[in-house]
Amino acid sequence: MEFDEIIEQMEDVIESAWKLPMGRGRSVVDVSEIENLIKKMQISLPQEIRESKKIIANKDKILQTAKESCDEIYRIAKQKVKLMVEEHEIVKLAKQRENEIIKDLKEKSENIINETRKNIGKILIELENNTSLLSEKIKNSKKELENLKI
């Protein structure tokens, strides 16, 4: 019998008890019936306490399992975030390195273009000088040819 059922039976016994006239709320109850209910309570109470302890133990076990699961999920999530951050950093560093390489290549190509322009300028000046010299020689040779009498 459940503990709360026993208490209800005791209440019923008390409610059905004979009221003493001028007893200022006192009643006459069947003592053996009350004693019998008290014995049932004494038997029922330890059983209910044991069941309550089992429920509490299960609750603690379930909470512990849930906590362990949460801890594991948190650990895995933290690990994934760390990997994502590292990957992000790697990508960021790669892009930074790419920009540095592109900048360096632009500078080198501009230097090559400038050097090539200078060299071409020098060659053209040299060609112009040589052409002037050659033109002068041709004029001189032409004059010599005109001055040459046969």
Mark 104-130 as b/e (b = at least 16 C-beta within 10 Å): eeeeeeeeeeeeeeeeeeeeeeeeeee
Tokens of 40: 């049932």
Mean confidence (pLDDT) of the chain? 86
Question: For 79-99, what is each residue's pLDDT tens digit?
Answer: 999 888 888 888 888 999 999
Residue at 123 is within a domain:
no
What are 109-127's pLDDT values in tens digits? 999 999 999 999 999 999 9
> pLDDT tier at 1 (50, 70, 90 boundaries)?
low
Residue 73 structural domain:
3-13+29-113
Q: Is the pLDDT assigned to residue 150 strictly greater than 70?
A: no
| Domain assignment present for 130 | no
- The total domain count for the chain is 1
Judge whether 93 lies within some domain: yes
